[in-house]
Structure 1
Amino acid sequence: MKLTVLKEFLNESISHVSKAITSKTTIPILSGIKIDADTTGMTLTASDTDISIQSFIPMEKNDIRVIELKQSGSVVLPSKFFVEIIRKLPAQQIEIEVKDHFQTIIRSGSAEIQLMGLDPEEYPIMPGIEENRRVQIPSDLLKTMIKQTAFAVSTNEATPILTGILWTISDGKLKFTACDRHRLASRETNIDVDADFSLNNVSISGKTMNELSKILPDQNTLIDVVFADNQVLFKMSSILFYTRILDGTYPDTSKLIPQSFQTELAVGTQELADAIDRAYVLSREEKTNIVKLVMRDDQSIEVSSSSSELGKVTEELVVSRLNGELLRISFNSKYMLDALKVMDSAQVQIGFTGAMQPIIIRPDEESSLLQLILPYRTTN
């Protein structure tokens, strides 16, 4: 293999695929990036068995000559060195030449680097996926849905299924659900699918979804999402992102969500977040994260950190609406802050069915996004 490639394009491709590389792999060749070059362009591949990413660099882009190919071929280069070396090369033109026994020479400006490559024949083949179960989702919407749910997945590997975001599609609606037993986040949207297209029990690792989010374009580009038996493929213009579906059955979380409330309040999203954030400073120091909310009959609420040896934060907020029984309720302030951060409205509605029942947070007058957190029982 012998070619020259523009550094800017190679760097971008490397940054995409390197998200699939882990230092914990037990298969030595997976610590490398596979490079294939032919007359169509250059393909970079990286995988950790759970996710695989392919990025394609065309010969030309926007009338710019990106690659000059002298000889087709393939090689696997150790990512640890390849990623850093390419970033630090002095010139915009990079020459890559693979000699006998996969010895690879990289030249740029006055620099010449030799790397010992590996046999690309030993690299696992990308999974073959039939594209008969496919949906299209705008990239910016997918990014938003990941942001509004991924933080609520479980970090406890003892229940692997809860470390993922559950995808369900029915009646033309796509829904994401994430739950770690203490909180739940869900977001729903209409998508353009055949009336009989349905999907259930497809759970994709939250960590993987966050990595995908970093690659997704910000603009309103349609992304193809292809579902197979145990794999999902996300297709972008020059990137293929494969991920494994988590094993197991996702629990039915619909029973957790109350259909009616004993108490409801509406309050400014940012004002409540700021007040809880200030109370969080002391509650965090005590490692309890517990903040208390007390409702008053003058259409106000009091937010306070639990009394501690360090001191106490107390703040009063006027709410725009407060109906029902007045409650005193304690909750994990970090969970509440995470929920409020992803609200896309100036006001939030919070629903309560009792001091020890789930708290439901929604954007005001909008039902496609829902956050649930469980309250804490405190001695006082």
Structure 2
Amino acid sequence: MKLSISKEHLNESIGHVSKAITSRTPIPILSGIKFDTTEEGVRLTASDADITIQSFIPVEKDGHTIIRVEQEGSVVLPAKFFGEIIKKLPSNEIEIEIRPPFQATIRSGGSEVQLVGLDPEEYPQLPVIEERKIVSVPGDLLKTMIRQTSYAVSTSEATPILTGVLWSLDEQGLKFISCDRHRLAQRETPLDASTEQYFRGVVISGKTLNELSKVIPDDHSLTDIVVSDNQVLFRMDNLLFYSRLLEGTYPDTSKLIPNQFQTEIVVSGKLLTEAIDRAYLLSREEKTNIVKLVMNEDQTLEISSSSSEIGKVTEMIPVESMTGQLLKISFNSKYMLDALRVIDSEAIRLGFTGAMSPIIIEPLGETKVLQLILPYRTTN
């Protein structure tokens, strides 16, 4: 194998596929990046057995030559060293040559680096996915939906299914749900699809989704989502992202969400977030994260936290509207801040069904985002 390639494009592809590399792989060859060169271009593949990412660099792009192939071939190169070396090479053009058995020579400017490669035949094959259920979602929307739900997955491996986000697609559209038993995040969006494309019970690891979000384009270009029995494929321009689905049945969370509220408040999201953020500073020092919210008759909210060693923070903020019974309620300020920061809305609606019932946080408007956190019981 012998070729010369643009450093910029090679760096970008290595950056994408390296997100699938883990240092604790039980299969030694998975610590490397598979490098396939054909007359069409270069294909890089990396995997940790749970996720697999493949990036393709074409020979030409926008009329510019990116790769010149002298000899086709394949090799697996150590990901850590290969990635670091490519970043540090002096020239914008890199020459890579593989001699038998799998000895790699990398040249750039006055630099020459030699790496010991591995046999590509020993690298696992890509997952085989039956392409029956395919839907397309704009990249920027998909990233937003992941951001608004993946933060609320459980970090406890005691219940592996809760470390993922539940996906479903039906006549109502695409819905994501995450829940760690203390809080819940839900996002829905309308999506035109036929009944043959519908799916339910698809659970994807929150960590995987966060890595996926890093490679999804920020623009409105479409990402194809291909769902099979135990795998999901995200297909973007010149990039494939495969993920194994989590096994098990996701619990029914619909009963957690109240249909009616005893008290409803509409308040500025910015004012509420900033006030709770300041109160969080003291609650964090106390290692409880508990912040108290008191509704006043003069259409204001009192938000406070205290530390026995430092002092007390009290915030008074106006509300745009308040209906129902006045309540005093305590909650985890970290959970509340996480929920508020992913709601992209100037006005926030809070719904309460009692001092010890779930708190619902939603944006005003048509965007279907729902956040739920459980309150705390305090002695006073």
TM (norm. structure 1) is 0.99
Which residue matches 1:192? 192
Name 1:350's counterpart in structure 2. 350
The corresponding residue for 2:146 is 146
For residues 103-252 of structure 1, the aligned pairs below 5 Å read 103-195=103-195, 197-252=197-252
**Cα shift at 1:286:** 1.2
Cα deviation for residue 197 of structure 1 reads 3.5
SS at match of 2:304: strand
Q: How does 1:339-378 map to 2 (within 5 A)?
A: 339-366=339-366, 368-378=368-378
Alignment-derived partner of residue 300 in structure 2: 300
User: Displacement of 1:195 after TM fit?
Assistant: 4.0
Q: Distance in 1 between matches of 2:242 and 2:30?
A: 15
Helix, strand or coil at the partner of 1:187: strand
CA contact (8 A) 2:285 2:307 kept: no
| 1:67 equivalenced with 2:92 (yes/no) | no
What letter corresponds to residue 124 of structure 2 in structure 1? Answer: P
CA separation of 1:366/1:305 partners in 2, compared to 1, >3 Å: closer, same or farther?
Answer: farther
The SS at the match of 2:90 is coil
What is the aligned-residue RMSD (CA, Å)? 0.9
Query: What SS class does the counterpart of residue 375 from structure 2 fall into?
Result: coil
Deviation at 1:172, TM superposition (A): 4.5
Closer, same or farther: CA 238–49 of 1 in aligned 2, 3 Å: same
3-state SS of 2:360 partner? strand
Count how many residue pairs are aligned between Structure 1 and Structure 2.
380
Take 1:168 and 1:7, find their aligned partners in 2: how far apart are those partners? Answer: 40
Structure 2 residues not aligned, in runs of 5+: none
Deviation at 1:318, TM superposition (A): 0.9
What is the DSSP-based 3-state SS (H/G/I as helix, E as strand, rest coil) of the residue aligned with 2:197?
Answer: coil
Distance 2:102 2:370 in 1: 53
**Superposition deviation, residue 344 in structure 1:** 1.4
- Tell me what 1:96 maps to: 96
CA distance in structure 2 between the partners assigned to 1:288 and 1:51 by the alignment: 36
CA contact under 8 A between 2:134 and 2:197: conserved in structure 1?
A: no
Checking the alignment, whether the CA contact within 8 Å between 1:134 and 1:226 is kept in structure 2 is yes
Query: 1:366 offset after TM fit, Å?
Result: 3.6
- How does 1:43-82 map onto structure 2 within 5 Å? 43-82=43-82
| Alpha-carbon contact 2:282-2:307 (below 8 Å) kept | no
Match for 1:251: what amino acid? P
Whether the 8 Å CA contact 2:89–2:111 is kept in 1: the answer is yes
Secondary structure of residue in 2 paired with 1:101: coil
Instruction: Point out where structure 1 has 5 or more consecutive residues left out of the alignment.
Output: none
User: Which residue number in structure 2 is paired with residue 7 of structure 1?
Assistant: 7
1:203 and 1:245 in contact (8 A); partners too = yes
Q: What is the TM-score normalised by the length of structure 2?
A: 0.99
Task: Tell me the distance in 1 between the aligned counterparts of 2:150 and 2:216.
Answer: 15
Residue type of the alignment partner of 1:298? D
